[in-house]
């Protein structure tokens, strides 16, 4: 009897640990039983954990040797008393090149799931996003995209139009998803280009926001300089903290309970 009780206690403890870390599976408890509005308003305390999908390029994915902003985001929201599950089909951080596979970050003490894609542009992700969102059923999607498009020479207007298409794809997968759309951080190769895109972001959000699927702009560029990047493009620890805290502030601003 004692052995059976010990085994049961270990299983219960493991289950609680996985739950606290979001389970590490993009499909775990998909939807959670409550509406996105209910879970956003309670920060995951009503209707099941708040499912958050970090969606973007290498700035979201992070590189080997770096934690990414997702660790700070996770710490802030849990410290604020939220119940959160970061979701996505990928886990960890990139090996540092396109489609190079994932490794654990230096501090793997947070929910590692995400949808960050090293070197990808907006138009490359649009065909994938609907299916990924439908599978993971996020209540909140964090979008930081456009850096690779700008650095590839695409016009800010063209990128803005594609971000609108990305929002449509998110809603095709989950019509009531709440969307946080970033004004992207400056990139040293073309800070004027990232700034030009950022001037388009408010218009993208205001033209597509709805009561069912609201869009809020998160100005990740404000107070951020290329000195906050370790290579001119990707956040160093100070940059990760700025990004993670701003995302967390935006999520918490929606909390009403």
Residue 18 in any domain: the answer is no
Residue 78 in any domain: the answer is yes
Residue 83 in any domain: the answer is yes
Residue 37 sits in which domain range?
24-253
Residue pair 66/59 in contact (Cβ under 8 Å)? The answer is: no
**For residue 5, what pLDDT is reported?**
29
Task: Please tell me what DSSP assigns to residue 257.
Answer: -
d(CA 53, CA 35): 16
Residue 17 in any domain: the answer is no
Task: Say whether 26 sits in a helix, a strand or coil.
Answer: coil
**166: closest CA among 117, 124, 194?**
124
Residue 220 in any domain: the answer is yes
What's the pLDDT band for 31 if we cut at 50, 70, 90? low
Residue 31 in any domain: the answer is yes
Q: Which CATH number is 198's domain given?
A: 3.40.50.1110
Task: Please tell me what DSSP assigns to residue 234.
Answer: S
For the stretch 70-103, pLDDT in tens is 999 999 999 999 999 999 999 999 999 999 999 9
**For residue 33, what pLDDT is reported?**
78
Q: How many CA atoms lie within 13 A of 57 on its CB side?
A: 22
pLDDT, the chain, mean: 90
Q: φ, ψ for residue 55 (rounded to 5)? A: -120, 125
| Dihedral sign (CA 254, 143, 157, 213) | negative
- Stretch 178-198: mean pLDDT: 98
Residue 8 in any domain: the answer is no
List strand residue ranges (DSSP E) for the chain, in order: 50-56, 84-86, 90-91, 93-94, 102-103, 113-116, 140-144, 178-183, 215-219
- Per cent of the chain over pLDDT 70 is 88
**For residue 42, what pLDDT is reported?**
98
Residue 19 in any domain: the answer is no
How many structural domains comprise the chain?
Answer: 1
């Amino acid at each position: 009897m004692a052995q059976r009780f010990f085994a049961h206690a270990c299983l219960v403890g493991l289950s609680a640990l996985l739950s606290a870390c979001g389970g590490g599976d993009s499909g775990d408890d998909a939807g959670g039983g409550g509406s996105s509005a209910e879970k956003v308003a309670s920060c995951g305390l009503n209707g099941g954990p708040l499912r958050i999908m970090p969606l973007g390029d290498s700035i979201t994915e992070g590189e080997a040797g770096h934690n990414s902003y997702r660790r700070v985001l996770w710490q802030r929201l849990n410290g604020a008393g939220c119940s959160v599950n970061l979701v996505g089909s990928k886990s960890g951080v990139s090996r540092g090149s396109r489609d190079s596979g994932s490794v654990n970050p230096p501090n793997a003490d947070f929910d590692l799931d995400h949808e960050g894609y090293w070197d990808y542009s907006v138009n490359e992700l649009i065909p994938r996003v609907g299916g990924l969102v439908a599978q993971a059923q996020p209540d909140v999607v964090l979008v930081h995209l456009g850096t690779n498009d700008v650095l590839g020479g695409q016009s800010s207007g063209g990128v803005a139009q594609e971000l609108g298409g990305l929002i449509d794809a998110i809603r095709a997968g989950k019509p009531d998803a709440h969307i946080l759309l970033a004004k992207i951080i400056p990139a040293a190769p073309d800070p004027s280009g990232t700034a030009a895109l950022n001037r388009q972001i408010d218009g993208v959000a205001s033209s597509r926001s709805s009561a069912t699927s609201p869009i809020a702009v998160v100005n990740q560029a404000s107070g951020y300089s290329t000195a906050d990047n370790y290579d001119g493009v990707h956040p160093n620890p100070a940059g990760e903290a700025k990004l993670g805290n701003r995302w967390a502030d935006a999520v918490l601003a929606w909390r009403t309970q």
